[in-house]
Structure 1
Amino acid sequence: MDSPNLPIHQRLIQDPHDRTGHLRTDDAWVKKAWAEESTRVLVVAGNRVEPSGDSGVRWRTPSTSPEGIRLLLGDSPEGARFAVLTGQEEAGEGWLDLRGLFPTMLADTTEASLLMHAIGLAEWHRATRFCTRCGGSLEPRAAGHELACAEGHLTFPRTDPAVIMLVTTGDPGTDEERCLLGNHTRWPAPYFSTLAGFVEPGESLEDAVRREVAEEVGVRVGQVDYFGNQPWPLPASLMLGYFARAETTEVRCDEDEIREARWFTRADLASVAESGEVLLPSGVSISRSLVEAWYGGELPGSW
């Protein structure tokens, strides 16, 4: 059930599906569930899925699904939910990746949860070809949630923690308060977003925020406050959102990653967003939620 007062990134994950993890190793239950008429299957071709005629994605019956790696996504009163992984070449015309589905994902937040699960596992299977301990080939187990080699070594899906932060300076809530947004070297010039980076081994989340900001734009950060989190299976991240208070304001961009970084007051941000001079991230991203939470309302435009 949609709750419009929640930040958009939280609305997207507010109705998680029942993953029924305890049933993944129950081969008899999984086989029986696959044979049920009520079971529905999401076909993932590489990283693309087939949209439905109205909104969301097409769910097939087991009998109309292609061969591939079967993943048990979970169970529900309406029936079990599986995904089948096939090659990218099986994607038909008009099939979309996760980013292409973002505009319609809020129509059914439980379906969005299933999609995140399926795409995350699909990305893991695509990237994990050999055992990291012996180099042997791998076979799926536990309804697609484990991979095992001939030596018995198990490999599990991994999620990499990444911090994403809105850096601010000035008296909070005043017209003079500013936020810092950057344009990555991989993006077109109008695309601006919050800063982000992966957490390194042995590093706290707050220290990762401070290090990444210093490395990317040369700004020293002091206070760091948690905002929220968002799973991001592109390919396997958990985005941990923060507000970070700047102790310095001089910007020195790491030109390998950040082409430009600029400070914006709320009035500045509204003006450039309205004109299209700056395009902000998609409305379903935690980056967008961070910016609009600081701004105090919705902003136009996105990429």
Structure 2
Amino acid sequence: MSLAENTLSDCLQNEFNQETLQFSRLETLAMVSAINQADGTVAGAIQTVLPAIAEAVDAIAERLKQGGRLFYAGAGTSGRLAVLDSAECPPTFGTAPEMVQSIIAGGQEAMLKAVENIEDSTQAAIDELIKRGLCEKDVVVGIAASGRTPFTLAAIDYANQLGALTVAITTRGRGLISEVARFAIAPDVGPEVLSGSTRMKSGTAQKMILGMLSTCVMGRLGRIHTNLMVDVVASNIKLLRRAERIVGEVCMIDTQTAANLLKQVDYHPRRAILMHELNINAQQATDIVSQHPHTALDDMLKTKQS
């Protein structure tokens, strides 16, 4: 048996959960309780790798400040969670769709149904990164529960060849991908209640880590003020009201006054806040934001204090 086959055999053996061997025979309440108890351990596992997450956040933010882009790459559940997180960045943080992208094995079709065989394709990952013009300024985050998915490994390998920053996210401790990437985030959530079903605890861990990465990176890029989404895209009634509350809270004004300001800047909270706090017009506020896309609102408002 080859080294690769031995590694795969060991990984598969580690997937079996000896504590849930009677799972299918449990009463329903006991079933859901077992899953809930297992899920409760995920945050603790992630807590052990918070320094690694913070280090990756700072490195990613520096690349993006220099005009780089962030690519997530994964297959199956990992890829779907990557798509979810990247899709939320433009409406939440007002980023261009190109800044945070996802590459899922099997493409758009794999979002709605399993395309399991494609995760073994190394060329598919490389072709997609070539298509999107990956370069040395960019970042590739590879996500794989076990750390051995060929599609994801290929994405990291290709990114390394170009000099792009690479980050590996695994959830059963360090895997092959952890040894290849520049930064490794590798909590061990333990075997799943349903052995091998990494959509469960591993998926929860990946969702939590990706949420940390994107939110904290955007914080380092100045797209959060205190705990407010000052660059939120107000695309529906709920978000229109949220934008009004954000401006009202920061500027300490009533919602109607906030709405009047927002109407002048296409309901962009940061620009409305600058108008009020610096006593400037809509065009001036727009120019400031355009010229300083990664400057925190606190720093933009320092001219008022001086």
- More helix per residue: 1 or 2? 2
- More strand per residue: 1 or 2? 1
TM surpasses 0.5: no
TM-score bracket for the superposition, by shorter chain length: under 0.3
Length-normalised TM-score, structure 2: 0.24
